């Protein structure tokens, strides 16, 4: 993945859920096809979106204490050591551990609240994705999610 910034795209919660399931099963190509078919995105954009889902999946498999140790090493300028710690203390392989550490360096992590993630979308005026993530993570209706997003401005 060349860029860890989430692509500005609106993906319906059901599509996101199905694609996340495919990612969890290791079926990345099928997830990309699903996202492309549901959104009309080009191949690169759909792959970038699926890559962000993969990061979210990887993050769920890293215990908080391992994430804290990795973040400490990253802060000390030792991302290679951070990847080794993640690899040794989780089920992740070398490539996924490096991807996870790269994501942590870019600001992903369980320490970011839903409000923080929504603000990141609205900062680049991607209100559709902000609303979609609120709907997906909370089960709110579109109208409720819109009110939530608007209230953060």
State the average pLDDT over residues 59-79: 86
Give me the helix-helix angle, 43-60 and 13-24, nearest 10°.
70
Contact 74, 62 (CB under 8 A): no
- In percent, the amount of the chain with pLDDT more than 70 equals 87
What is the model's pLDDT at position 7?
Answer: 43
Tell me 91's DSSP state: S
For 24-30, what is the mean pLDDT?
93
Query: Is the pLDDT reported for residue 74 higher than 90?
Result: no
Of all residues in the chain, the percent with pLDDT exceeding 90 is 29
118-140 mean pLDDT: 78
Q: How confident is the model at residue 110 (pLDDT cuts 50, 70, 90)?
A: low
For the residues of 3-55, what is the DSSP string, one character each?
Answer: --SPP-----HHHHHHHHHHHHTT-HHHHHHHHHHHH---HHHHHHHHHHHHH
Note the pTM of the prediction, 2 decimals: 0.60
| Per-residue pLDDT at 88 exceeds 80 | yes
- Confidence category of residue 106, pLDDT binned at 50, 70, 90: low
Fill in the DSSP letter of residue 153. -
Residue 70 and residue 53: Cα distance in Å, rounded? 20
Whole-number mean pLDDT of the chain? 83
Structure token pair of residue 140: 């709110």
pLDDT at res. 107: 62
Which of the two residues, 104 and 152, has the higher pLDDT score? Answer: 152
Dihedral sign from CA coordinates of 66, 97, 109, 104 = positive
């Amino acid at each position: 993945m060349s860029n860890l910034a989430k692509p500005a795209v609106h993906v319906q919660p059901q599509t996101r859920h199905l694609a996340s399931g495919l990612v969890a099963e290791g079926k990345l190509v099928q997830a990309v096809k699903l996202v492309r078919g549901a959104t009309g995105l080009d191949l690169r954009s759909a792959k970038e979106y699926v890559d962000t889902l993969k990061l979210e999946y990887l993050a769920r498999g890293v215990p908080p204490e391992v994430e804290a140790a990795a973040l400490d090493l990253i802060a000390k300028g030792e991302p290679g050591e951070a990847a080794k710690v993640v690899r040794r203390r989780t089920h992740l392989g070398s490539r996924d551990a490096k991807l996870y550490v790269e994501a942590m360096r870019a600001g992903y992590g369980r320490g970011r609240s839903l409000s923080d993630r929504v603000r990141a979308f609205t900062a680049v005026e991607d209100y559709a994705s902000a609303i979609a993530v609120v709907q997906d993570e909370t089960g709110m209706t579109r109208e409720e999610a819109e009110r939530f997003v608007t209230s953060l401005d």
